[in-house]
Chain A
Amino acid sequence: MTKSELIEALARQQPHLAQKDVELAVKCIIEKMNQALSSGERIEIRGFGSFSLHERPPRMGRNPKTGDSVALAKKYVPHFKPGKELRDRVDESRGKCKIID
């Protein structure tokens, strides 16, 4: 499923809204999630999961071309922990359907 398929599915379920408004709403939710994470704020959606940042400590890296050492600063990466309901529903579907892209 892609973002545009998600928008279509949500528009079908809310026929009282214009497709354009559904599209704006989806973009608004995604932008809010991006903003929250890039300012270090956690997101907690009951039954779905939580998004947070994990710290990666500073390390010495290498330029793969020249072999020179470079100091890499500490950084943060986004992390998602699925909630119990999502975990259970996905696991229960294991025997029923194959994974498709």
Chain B
Amino acid sequence: MALTKADFAERLFDELGLNKREAKEMVELFFEEIKGSLENGEQVKISGFGKFELRDKNSRPGRNPKTGEEIPITARRVVTFRSGQKLKARVEAYAGAE
């Protein structure tokens, strides 16, 4: 089961004693603030987690993989995430459960 906003809100309720409404609002605002920053062209660096970077891509030739038809991929701005050292090290240590 994937973690969702509700799980984060519950954690804030349990651990910090925010009430349910405050906890829910905090989680909403947290992700909205990061989106807003990226939308303003500002990259976001969260120490202990990682960095959300922006990249402008030029247009390039592409293909519909099903039909083989050539269609140009338009120029666009994209978000990429680079995990920080701490998160990388913790994830690397994960042995895999499946």
Contacts and interface: CB of A to CB of B under 8 A. Distances in A.
Given A10-B29, A87-B78, A94 B56 contact: yes
B43 A100 contact: yes
Given A3-B45, A50-B2, A37 B26 contact: no
A74 B92 CA distance: 9
B54 A99 contact: yes
Interface string A1-28: 1110010011001101100011011101
11 contacts: A14-B29, A34-B49, A41-B2, A48-B31, A50-B2, A80-B50, A87-B79, A90-B38, A90-B79, A98-B41, A101-B42
Interface of A: 1-3, 6, 9-10, 13-14, 16-17, 21-22, 24-26, 28-30, 32-34, 36-51, 53, 55, 74-80, 82, 85-87, 89-94, 96-101
Given A34-B90, A80-B81, 9 more contacts: A2-B45, A2-B47, A22-B26, A40-B94, A42-B3, A76-B92, A76-B96, A87-B78, A99-B56
